[in-house]
Amino acid sequence: MQRRDFSRTLLSAGALSAAGALRPALAQRIGFKEGTDYLRLSKPAPVVSPPGQVEVVEFFAYSCIHCFNFEPVFNDWIGKKPAHVTVRRMPVAFSPAFVPMQRLYFTLEAMGLVDKLHHKVFQAVHEERLPLTTPPAIAAWIEKQGVDKAKFAAIYNGAAIQQSREATALQEAYMVEGTPALGVAGRFYVSGQGPRTLLIADSLIAQARKS
């Protein structure tokens, strides 16, 4: 088997999972191309990670089926990422219709409920077909999850509004055109849906660490 064929075989989800810690080395060996596999931003996007950390931003939408399918792969990657990598999830808003769900994520984050309810939101939308697209529908669903409705509403109608504006500004800084997508180190943009996207991210993280 040729080396390039071996690399392509390892791009499958199962092989990548088995490869585990070998992914950064594999990413460097493949040699992804700027303009084809990823974009370099002409103007750096803002980052909040401290010096010495490489920030990776996941751009997603709860209404996006590809994001729902990408989430388990991304979570597996998070569990194996190096200590020098910081991950932020960033819900997008391509129109005002996205904003209620955008604020939902930030409220869950503020309440420490992402681990408990983030995936459940995806399931509610894509498996249960619940229209969680308006504040009343979201509030009703949240109450059924046993969440303090008044506390949720205070954040949802308060701090989450400003966070949504900031998220949309970051989305524009990275020139996000679709989801899921990744922003790396405030310098690179990667679109995609599966394990290959994360190999590209590994390569860009290594590149950012060198410069």
Q: C-alpha 4: how far from its chain's center?
A: 29
Nearest Cα to Cα of residue 174 among 45, 34, 58: 45
* Rounded-to-integer distance, Cα 116 and Cα 200, Å: 29
| CB of 160 closer than 8 Å to CB of 30 | no
pTM of the model: 0.85
* Rounded-to-integer distance, Cα 179 and Cα 185, Å: 18
pLDDT for res 30: 59
Q: C-alpha 119: how far from its chain's center?
A: 13
Q: What is the pLDDT along the chain (211 residues), one digit of tens a residue?
A: 222 332 333 333 343 343 444 455 554 555 799 999 999 999 999 999 999 999 999 999 999 999 999 999 999 999 999 999 999 999 999 999 999 999 999 999 999 999 999 999 999 999 999 999 999 999 999 999 999 999 999 999 999 999 999 999 999 999 999 999 999 999 999 998 888 999 999 999 999 998 7
- DSSP class of residue 146 equals T
* Rounded-to-integer distance, Cα 47 and Cα 170, Å: 9
pLDDT for res 109: 98
pLDDT for res 194: 86
pLDDT for res 24: 53
pLDDT for res 23: 55
Name the token pair of 109: 């984050």
- DSSP class of residue 7 equals H
- Sorted by sequence, the CB contacts under 8 Å of residue 103 that are 6+ apart come out as 156, 160, 161, 163, 164
| CB of 102 closer than 8 Å to CB of 164 | yes
Name the region of 186 (left: φ>0; alpha: ψ -120 to 50; beta: rest).
left
18 by DSSP, 3-state: which?
helix
> How is the chain split into domains, by residue range?
28-210
Pairing of strands 85-91, 181-184: unpaired
pLDDT for res 210: 86
Domain 28-210 CATH superfamily? Glutaredoxin (3.40.30.10)
* Rounded-to-integer distance, Cα 102 and Cα 83, Å: 28
| CB of 151 closer than 8 Å to CB of 174 | no
